[in-house]
Amino acid sequence: MPYIRMIGMLPPRPGGDTTKVRSTVTGPFQGLIESAREAALEEVSPGDENRVFYRKKWWQKVIIMSGGPVMNFVLAFVFFTILLVGIGLPAEAPIVSPTTETCVIPSSERRAACEPGDQLTPAAQAGLKPGDRMVSFDGATISSWEDAKRLIRSHGAGPVKLGIVRDGKPMMFDVTLIAQDRPNLEDPEKTDKNVGFLGVRPTEVMEQQSVGQVIGYMGEQTARVAGSIFNLPEKMVGVWHAAFSAEERDPEGPVGMVGAGRLGGEILTSDLSNKEKIATFINLLAGFNLAIGMFNLIPLLPLDGGHIAGGLWEGLKRAYAKIMRRPKPKHVDIAKVLPLTYAAALAMMIMAGLLVYADLVNPLTLTN
């Protein structure tokens, strides 16, 4: 199968022959640089001297090396579109859930089951049933669970007319709300006093989104991934403690290939429906491509971001020289940053090894 391979990624030593490297070096770092130059020049065949990568125009370098990350972003967008538009995201709908309790359990009591003598909820007294969709509240339209919560809590105690749809038929109920102390919606540690209480739970559904919402969702995920990459050293400290101190793994922390494979196996053997399993895998594929694309933009060799940064710097230098009417600068010698690259590569290998170990002894699971 034919493929395209770039050659001459690194320029020869400034002032040196384009087909030769010097035979002596002056230090360990210089030796690493010259070894890399020599390896790059060995790929250049006679007649290819003007076709090597480092001789490309700066904007051509940027376009070429942006191809990989851009394709990752395109794949991420495609997968996110399939997920959001085709399948949907979990959302709470204003539909009475089968798990709704029929009694009033004070928020101060840590129990989930009704006990003899408990007061019936206003919903139970009015005759609401699981599957009823709430559509109006005293004339105000209910289009989401957020609407229902806001209207119920702000009303306080007293009678209201609640519109529902049951088995496709619209119905109207007279319901008398009661006042209850309930956890604050923004901060569950706080308590709102004497808010309106109906006594229903929402039903979780898969709500399909628009293409415009895909763009916003991908923007949010991109910001999260960027923040994760920026905070990676701090997150790795948490992985270290989880691996050697038996602390809990951070659900928002990094996971290695071993851990990712384990999570995939858990998804397959879980009690999730087939639709939920497919949605989870598509979300993982989208997130993986987004993370790879973002990581590849880090301005370090041999990542694409290192070559992109070199091309942009070369473009700035030549633009400045043109404005100032100075001689055209030579190609940017990105080989000079190779020692930093080797240090970063060593750190990445250590992190990869730590993640593998942590995934084996203290793995992330669907339950944690």
**CATH of residue 202:** 2.30.42.10
* Residue-level pLDDT at 336: 74
Counted domains in the chain: 3
Domain span at 29: 1-55
* Residue-level pLDDT at 133: 93
**Domain match, 72 and 119 both:** no
CA–chain centroid gap for 156, Å, is: 39
**Domain match, 247 and 182 both:** no
**Domain match, 203 and 277 both:** no
pLDDT per residue over 107-139, tens digit each?
Answer: 666 766 777 877 888 998 989 999 999 999 988
**Domain match, 34 and 113 both:** no
**Domain match, 214 and 293 both:** yes
* Residue-level pLDDT at 3: 43
Domain edge (last residue) among 207, 235, 264: 207
**Domain match, 164 and 218 both:** no
Pull the structure tokens for residue 172: 């109207």
DSSP secondary structure of 18-66: TT---S--SSHHHHHHHHHHHHHHHTPPTT-GGGSGGGS-HHHHHHHHH
pLDDT per residue over 167-207, tens digit each?
Answer: 999 999 999 998 888 887 778 778 888 889 998 899 888 88
Domain edge (last residue) among 159, 189, 207: 207
- Average pLDDT of the segment spanning 246-251: 80
- Average pLDDT of the segment spanning 212-216: 91
**Domain match, 74 and 151 both:** no
**Domain match, 350 and 221 both:** yes
**Domain match, 223 and 367 both:** yes
Written as one letter, the residue type at 158 is: G
- Average pLDDT of the segment spanning 73-99: 91
- Average pLDDT of the segment spanning 159-172: 92
**Domain match, 180 and 109 both:** yes
Domain edge (last residue) among 207, 229, 256: 207
**Domain match, 267 and 313 both:** yes
pTM of structure: 0.70
**Domain match, 199 and 213 both:** no
- Average pLDDT of the segment spanning 304-310: 86
Which residues of 64-157 form beta strands (DSSP E)? 89-93, 133-137, 140-141
